[in-house]
Structure formats: C-alpha cells, structure tokens
C-alpha cells in the first residue's frame, strides 16, 4: 500500500476531501516522528507502539566484493502491534 492509497481510504471513511485527508495523514506522521525524536516511544492504544532502539556495532560483508567490514552503531525504529490490532488481523 502506498501513502496515496491510505489517503483515499481516510477520505472515504471520514467523508472528507482528498486534500484534507492528505493533510491529516501528514500531520499524524509528523506528530509520530516528533514524539519519537523527543521521547523515544509513541504508544497508539489500539494500534501499537513505535520505539527507537540502538543496534550495536557488528561485522558485515560488502555485497559485491564479499569483503568483511564493520557496520557502525545506528538507531532504528521498531513497531510492536497491540493485542487489539493482532486480534483484528488474526495473528493471536
């Protein structure tokens, strides 16, 4: 699914224009990003939790040459689905 597909769904479900749905989705995404950057965790009750975790330095291989290299420490975003969300898509 692309962002534009989600905008269309929001527009139809909410009975608002495509432009307003796009604005609403952008505002939501911006809010999630801001909170993650500031607090490191965002909990959306019936959806799940976004959190930032740090991956430690590790060894890897260059895909073309096969040469061993060190991959630096980096931050990554994780998502953990809520029980309600899992139940809705039959993962529980």
Residue 92 has pLDDT above 80, yes or no: no
Token couple for 82 = 């809520």
Helix (H) or strand (E) holding 75: strand 74-81
Rounded average pLDDT over 18-27: 97
Residue extents of the structural domains in the chain: 1-39, 41-92
Give pLDDT tens digits for 29-68: 999 999 999 999 999 999 999 999 999 999 999 999 999 9
pTM: 0.74
Whole-number percent of the chain with pLDDT over 70: 98
Query: Is the CATH number of domain 41-92 3.40.718.10?
Result: no
The whole-angstrom separation of Cα 92 and Cα 83 is 8
| C-alpha–C-alpha distance, residues 67 and 15, integer Å | 55
């Amino acid at each position: 699914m692309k962002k534009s597909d989600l905008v269309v769904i929001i527009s139809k479900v909410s009975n608002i224009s495509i432009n307003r749905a796009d604005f609403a989705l952008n505002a939501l995404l911006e809010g999630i990003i801001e909170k993650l950057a500031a607090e490191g965790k965002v909990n959306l009750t019936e959806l799940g939790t976004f959190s930032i975790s740090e991956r430690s330095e590790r060894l890897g291989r260059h895909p073309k040459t096969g040469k061993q290299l060190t991959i630096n420490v980096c931050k990554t975003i994780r998502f953990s689905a809520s029980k309600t969300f899992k139940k809705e898509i039959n993962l529980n």
